[in-house]
Amino acid sequence: MAEEEKQLEEFEQIDFLKDRHVRFFQRTLQVLPERYASLETTRLSIVFFALSGLDVLGSLDVIDKDLIIEWIYSQQVLPTDDKSNLGRCGFRGSSHIGIPYSTKGPGVLHPYDSGHVAMTYTGLCSLLILGDDLSRVNKQGCLAGLRALQLEDGSFYSVPEGSENDIRFIYCAACICFMLDDWSGMNIQKAIEYIRGSLSYDSGFGQGAGRESHGGWTYCAIASLCLMGRLEEALSPRELDRIRRWCIMRQQSGFHGRPNKPVDTCYSFWVGATLELLGVFRYTNFEKNRNFILSTQDRLVGGFAKWPDSHPDPLHAYFGLCGLSLIGEPNLRKVHPALNITQGAFQHLQQLHQTWRSSCGQQH
């Protein structure tokens, strides 16, 4: 009997609780615990985790898509009549500075209002996930806002006032240019030089030159180069092999982000997707990876935490799902490893690009 119970416990431990995760993301869109108050300025990224999570779960039908599309457009920083704020355009994270609700231009001039590169990235992704055609995105504003954020060394700030500058924001910028099908938003060559300069002695990528290798930065570096279509031009076959090796060595049970650190759910995506982009993910141990991710699943409220027996949060809930999707968990939609949205949302984007290109051809 005791033996049977033990077996039952083990069986239950690897059960994937899909309905709980759907409810977790529904709640994320409706109401958040007080401890999230400090994340108000980046609320759009939390909305993205919930929407893309529901998309991976094949459950977008539980939300009112049109309502959320309108809210996302209300966060677009649009050019003013005199276009004096072009370098500040993009998407902001929420209505925290009190700009009146509006989904139409012209923009309102406010000294502290500007887009944030990660909000523009997650805003555009969210619109695609919801099936929007991006026709109300002010592309010229987004691209001008992006150009204003790139530094001489090729890296990007997140906001015009200045912030940390590193490969994370190059990745966001690459996603924006890729989605808008227009690379005039950045100097690609300089960005590639910054990425190359961040390759560390042990063949992972750091936040910048001379910094410690890290799974998250390595993902941003490789995914950016893939989106640019410049992976094999920027890195030699020997360098790519060494990067593959550094990434494969990050698997313990799940993956960690740096040597001698504990495994963490989100790296099943950051490192897993990098290995997928580099064509060698199949050489990792899927079963150990799956067991670790599921050990961080919250069986009561849904979602995943970074570690077992910890509180789930939207970021780890989303990347836990993406990690499971990469290893082919049944009933989960496939994720595009470089753009970090489902393959379905990616195909929708490709169709939009085709439409834009053919209408552009007709004009000339």
Closer CB to Zn ion, residue 90 or residue 303? 303
Residue 98's alpha-carbon distances to 37, 68, 76, in angstroms, are 16, 19, 13
Residue nearest to Zn ion (CB): 266
Q: Cβ of residue 159: shortest distance to Zn ion, in angstroms? A: 24
Closer CB to Zn ion, residue 166 or residue 264? 264
Q: Cβ of residue 249: shortest distance to Zn ion, in angstroms? A: 18
Residue 73 CB-half CA count within 13 A? 21
- Where b means 16+ CB within 10 Å and e means fewer, 319-341 reads bbbbbbbbbebeebbebbbbbbb
Closer CB to Zn ion, residue 173 or residue 263? 263
Closer CB to Zn ion, residue 157 or residue 270? 270
Residues lying near Zn ion in the complex (CB under 5 A): 264, 266, 306
Closer CB to Zn ion, residue 130 or residue 335? 335
Closer CB to Zn ion, residue 129 or residue 317? 317
Q: Cβ of residue 267: shortest distance to Zn ion, in angstroms? A: 7
Closer CB to Zn ion, residue 83 or residue 288? 288
> Can you tell me the distance from the alpha carbon of 140 to that of 185, in angstroms, rounded to the nearest whole number?
9
Q: Cβ of residue 270: shortest distance to Zn ion, in angstroms? A: 8
Asked if residue 326 lies in contact with residue 338, where contact means CB atoms within 8 angstroms, the answer is no
Q: Cβ of residue 307: shortest distance to Zn ion, in angstroms? A: 9
Q: Cβ of residue 305: shortest distance to Zn ion, in angstroms? A: 9
Main-chain phi, psi angles of 260, to 5 degrees: 70, 15
Select from 185, 49, 74, 223 the least CA-distant residue to 129.
49
Closer CB to Zn ion, residue 132 or residue 264? 264
Q: Cβ of residue 222: shortest distance to Zn ion, in angstroms? A: 18
Q: Cβ of residue 266: shortest distance to Zn ion, in angstroms? A: 3
Asked if residue 288 lies in contact with residue 254, where contact means CB atoms within 8 angstroms, the answer is yes
